Chains A and B, each alone.
Chain A
Amino acid sequence: MRPWLALALALAVFPTAGCKRSRAPAHSDGGAAGQSGAVTVRPNAPELVQCPATGCPLDFDEAGPPRDGGELVVHVEAEPAILCDLVEHDAWSRWIVENEVVETLLFQDPWTGAITPRLAASFESTADALTLHLRPSLKWHDGAPFSSADVAFTIGRARDPAVGADARSDFDPVSAVETPDANTVILRLTRPAPFLKQALAHLSILPEHLYKGKDLRRADASRAPIGTGPFKFVSWKQNDELVLARNPDYWGEKAHVDRIRFRFIRDKEVAYQLYRRGEIDVLWQVPATHFDEVRNDPALTGHRLLVWTPRAYFFVVWNSERGHLADPRVRRALTMLIDRQRFDQVAFGGHARAITGPYAPGTPSYDASIKPWPFDPAAARKLLDEAGVKTMKLTFLYYGASRSAEQLGTLMKEDFAKAGVTIDLASVDFAVQLDRLRHHAFDASALQWTLSVEQDNYQLFHSSQAAGGENFGSWKSPAADALLDQIRQTADDNARHALDRKLHALVHDEQPYTFISMREVETLLQPRVHGLLPSQDGFTFARAWLSK
């Protein structure tokens, strides 16, 4: 019995593997601005903070004034392998290091998309250049001066194909990086670069003096990062914990807590038990088995339960190269055969939101007038008849450790059979799934993507990206190609958002993906925790403080 259980438990900790981090473009007219979470204070139960679909501004917290001192203990589900954004694609690495230790030139509001200064105090955009003015006399945590050379070095590494950084293609329009003096950086552009400022808001600047001539994966600074942020790196024990301490010389508003201890606890149940024992201040995610218990437990009075939706969606990708799947009518029929509401109920206890296209709901790129295809087996059967499909046999490839993918597969098998579509379930490990996706050796597969405020979908849907990119389903649509090319060339926000919405409609019609849903996360905060701010991947602790 033991090997199987071991496997099941150990595997249960990779829920978001396959997740993709990407950056976002700016749009200052952010759709979510001003919306706040609905706070319910209830006697004998935790305070419930229900965030809107478009984010959680966290303005529920009015316990101030902030108090300095103390150690904040934060639960982290998965441990990053390397603490360097350019080579570590895991979102947890960014969550720990970005914002807290290393910093970006610009800051993007994770929900409205608004771009504001950070290490760059100001910037000017022209048609063929972006000029950034760095804050004067900044210092790295080790005392070395921060300068434009560090910025040029970091951008250089990000653009190097051999590094394989997430942001690489965002810098394609850049022809040269100039540093006329220690505090000025000029990016020369060959064409419009609508996603450039957003890329800069997610590119952590690295210290050239510690990285020059070194492999990014093996450099000491990738294990003990040196940055300019409000916290300094203190120590990292693998499989155990990572400690940061307040930077007393921070250039901006200094942090309140003395230390942050990130504890790596893979098993959600274990983390929950430790939270109940008071050994953790921030429980990243309440296990689904405790949703009801947590909502109504008098022992949690004064705690806060934050219900929010990370910008990530779960979907099925269809291999558009294979047989009947090449026909959009067939893909649409298959979508209508998947009971997405029932799936949300089974897999997420109903804690999920519908999504119909590859943009973040609530942003101007997302066309809210598009409604999900209904679950309608009769209509699906009719569509299949129209397409001349009597019976069909498919294999559903999924990552065996993902319980939700398995539940989806089981559900599809049941419902598809009634419409004459046989589906075999193929459970594989993540390495195999990736390998087969990249080689298009599959019929259907389930994955999850993380969205930027405005997503550039070029890499996912452009026909050129079927070879070597992430167009795993080989969906080749000339109309989509034209839109995706145009989006990359359109600097005007409103015009580009209109194109985004067109692409959304096209994707909805053709269904290269079946969009399943966005899963809600329930985060628990001890009563003493205040001042968490949302970041791209969760929270930032730069303003956090602890009451007595």
Chain B
Amino acid sequence: MTALARRLAVVPLVLLGVTLVTFALVHALPGDAALVQAGTARGASPESLAAMRAEYGLDRSWPAQYAAWLGRSARLDFGDSLVDGRPVRAKIAEALPTSLALALLAAALAFGVAVPLGAALGWLDRKAWARATSAALYGIYALPVAAVALLVLRAGAPWGARTLVGMLPAAGALALAETVKLARYQRGALLDALAADYVTTARAKGLGPAGVAVHALRNALLPTVTLLGSELPALLSAAVVVEQVFGLHGIGMMAFDAVMTRDVPLLLGITTVGALVTLAAVLAADLAYGLVDPRLRGRAA
């Protein structure tokens, strides 16, 4: 698997690039963490601001800060949050399992429902009701996730769930738009495949409807599987609303807060972990791609 090795070799470079850009971006923003912490507190003094900046090294130039951060994070020490002084590693370790569980659950729901649904709608495209269903899916896609989530909560879904089963309603709300998108994608892919020359050839050779379906679906799965790599990270970051409505403590909300409070160490920690998750997902999608399409095995996609 030289492809895998090559993939892994790129990881440090990607991490370096992503964190460098994040660091530069945060430092380009006006306002710093010391100021946010002090807020409009009456007692905030030049001394207290200076003390805090010195304590967290905010008084140095940003390349110097970045170099220091890089040195520490190579040893997996992401420093302490500027807001509450707790180690970034501990904060992420608390939130990441929830986020991953939510995103994976949502992805499983989305792909589990969308692939059969989309394929069925594609296969039965000549039926009027199937066409009507496809059109109705557009309507669902347009529903705002916040409204859906609140409705689900109102219907009695648990708040602050800590189990996978308890998280199902939240994952469902998160997966809804994704499911529709994927189902429509899958339907389109199957329709394309059914219109392709090789299917016509297979039909001409006397292959029955079941055989044609399997033949076409196998090819039509390829584009959908490709999406797995990009959709998982997207689900991870789209979870802010769902996390908030269902009282789940994930990294979506944590990242948002980190930006608002200029909590650079926390933000960088999350960025790094997020980049790792994304790379892992893309890698997983590549491997799955190989499984579906033998031609691609051992090749770097």
Tell me the A435-458 residues at the B interface (CB within 8 Å).
435-436, 438, 447
- Of the listed stretches A162-170, A304-312, A348-356, name the one at the interface; the rest are far from the partner chain: A162-170
State which size class the interface on A falls in: 35 or more
Q: Contacting A164 at CB < 8 Å: which of B44, B94, B95, B259?
A: B44
Enumerate chain A residues within 8 angstroms of B55, measured Cβ to Cβ. 215
List the count of A-B residue pairs having beta carbons below 8 Å apart. 156
Closest to A19 in B: B40
- Tell whether B30 is near chain A: CB-to-CB under 8 Å: yes
State whether A434 touches B35 (Cβ < 8 A).
yes
- Of the listed stretches A103-111, A145-153, A268-276, name the one at the interface; the rest are far from the partner chain: A268-276
State whether A164 touches B47 (Cβ < 8 A).
yes
Tell me the B131-184 residues at the A interface (CB within 8 Å).
142, 144-146, 150, 153-154, 156, 159-160, 177
- Tell whether A290 is near chain B: CB-to-CB under 8 Å: no
- Tell whether A511 is near chain B: CB-to-CB under 8 Å: no
Closest to A433 in B: B31
State whether B31 touches A163 (Cβ < 8 A).
no
- Of the listed stretches A4-12, A25-33, A372-380, name the one at the interface; the rest are far from the partner chain: A4-12
- Tell whether A124 is near chain B: CB-to-CB under 8 Å: no
State whether B244 touches A81 (Cβ < 8 A).
no
State whether A434 touches B36 (Cβ < 8 A).
yes
Closest to B240 in A: A6
Q: How far apart are the CA atoms of A436 and B153 in the complex, in Å? A: 40
Q: How far apart are the CA atoms of A438 and B177 in the complex, in Å? A: 43
Tell me the B24-43 residues at the A interface (CB within 8 Å).
29-32, 35-36, 38-43
Contact A435 B43, CB 8 Å, known A2-B177, A82-B84, A274-B159: no
Tell me the A133-187 residues at the B interface (CB within 8 Å).
161-169
- Tell whether B15 is near chain A: CB-to-CB under 8 Å: no
Enumerate chain A residues within 8 angstroms of B94, measured Cβ to Cβ. 238
State whether B47 touches A81 (Cβ < 8 A).
no
Q: Contacting B40 at CB < 8 Å: which of A20, A240, A279, A432?
A: A20
**B139 → A minimal CB distance (Å):** 14
State whether A270 touches B247 (Cβ < 8 A).
yes
Closest to B36 in A: A431
Enumerate chain B residues within 8 angstroms of A265, measured Cβ to Cβ. 247
Closest to B248 in A: A239
Enumerate chain B residues within 8 angstroms of A1, measured Cβ to Cβ. 142, 144
Interface string of B206-240 (1 = CB under 8 A from A): 00000000000000000000000000000000101
Q: How far apart are the CA atoms of A525 and B51 in the complex, in Å? A: 43
State whether B249 touches A240 (Cβ < 8 A).
yes
State whether A431 touches B41 (Cβ < 8 A).
no
State whether A164 touches B30 (Cβ < 8 A).
no
Interface string of B73-105 (1 = CB under 8 A from A): 000000010011110000100110000000000
State whether B253 touches A434 (Cβ < 8 A).
no
Enumerate chain A residues within 8 angstroms of B153, measured Cβ to Cβ. 270, 273
Q: How far apart are the CA atoms of A240 and B95 in the complex, in Å? A: 11
**A75 → B minimal CB distance (Å):** 12
State whether B48 touches A163 (Cβ < 8 A).
yes
Enumerate chain B residues within 8 angstroms of A81, measured Cβ to Cβ. 83-84
- Tell whether B61 is near chain A: CB-to-CB under 8 Å: no
Closest to B244 in A: A267
- Tell whether A92 is near chain B: CB-to-CB under 8 Å: no
State which size class the interface on B falls in: 35 or more
Closest to A8 in B: B146
Enumerate chain A residues within 8 angstroms of B45, measured Cβ to Cβ. 161-162, 164, 168, 468
Contact A238 B244, CB 8 Å, known A431-B32, A432-B30: no
State whether B35 touches A20 (Cβ < 8 A).
no
B47, B159, B249: most-surrounded residue (chain A CB, <10 A):
B159
Closest to B159 in A: A274
Enumerate chain B residues within 8 angstroms of A82, measured Cβ to Cβ. 84-85
Interface string of A73-105 (1 = CB under 8 A from B): 000000001100000011000000000000000
State whether A164 touches B150 (Cβ < 8 A).
no
State whether B39 touches A89 (Cβ < 8 A).
yes
State whether A169 touches B43 (Cβ < 8 A).
yes
- Tell whether A191 is near chain B: CB-to-CB under 8 Å: no
State whether B31 touches A164 (Cβ < 8 A).
no
Q: How far apart are the CA atoms of A484 and B95 in the complex, in Å? A: 49
Enumerate chain A residues within 8 angstroms of B129, measured Cβ to Cβ. none
- Tell whether B22 is near chain A: CB-to-CB under 8 Å: no
- Tell whether A211 is near chain B: CB-to-CB under 8 Å: no
Contact A166 B42, CB 8 Å, known A10-B240, A269-B150, A435-B35: yes
State whether A10 touches B31 (Cβ < 8 A).
no
Enumerate chain A residues within 8 angstroms of B70, measured Cβ to Cβ. none
7 new A-B pairs (CB below 8 Å) besides A2-B145, A165-B43, A217-B84? A1-B142, A5-B144, A239-B249, A269-B150, A273-B153, A430-B31, A431-B262
Give the A-binding residues of B (Cβ under 8 A). 29-32, 35-36, 38-52, 55, 80, 83-86, 91, 94-95, 142, 144-146, 150, 153-154, 156, 159-160, 177, 238, 240-241, 244-245, 247, 249, 253, 256, 259-262
Give the B-binding residues of A (Cβ under 8 A). 1-3, 5-6, 9-10, 13-14, 17-22, 81-82, 89-90, 161-169, 215, 217-218, 222-223, 237-241, 263, 265-267, 269-270, 273-274, 277, 279, 429-432, 434-436, 438, 447, 459, 468, 470
Subset of 25 A-B contacts with CB under 8 Å: A6-B145, A6-B256, A9-B146, A10-B241, A18-B39, A20-B41, A21-B41, A22-B42, A161-B45, A162-B48, A164-B48, A164-B49, A166-B41, A167-B42, A169-B42, A237-B249, A238-B249, A239-B249, A240-B160, A273-B153, A430-B31, A431-B32, A431-B262, A434-B31, A434-B39
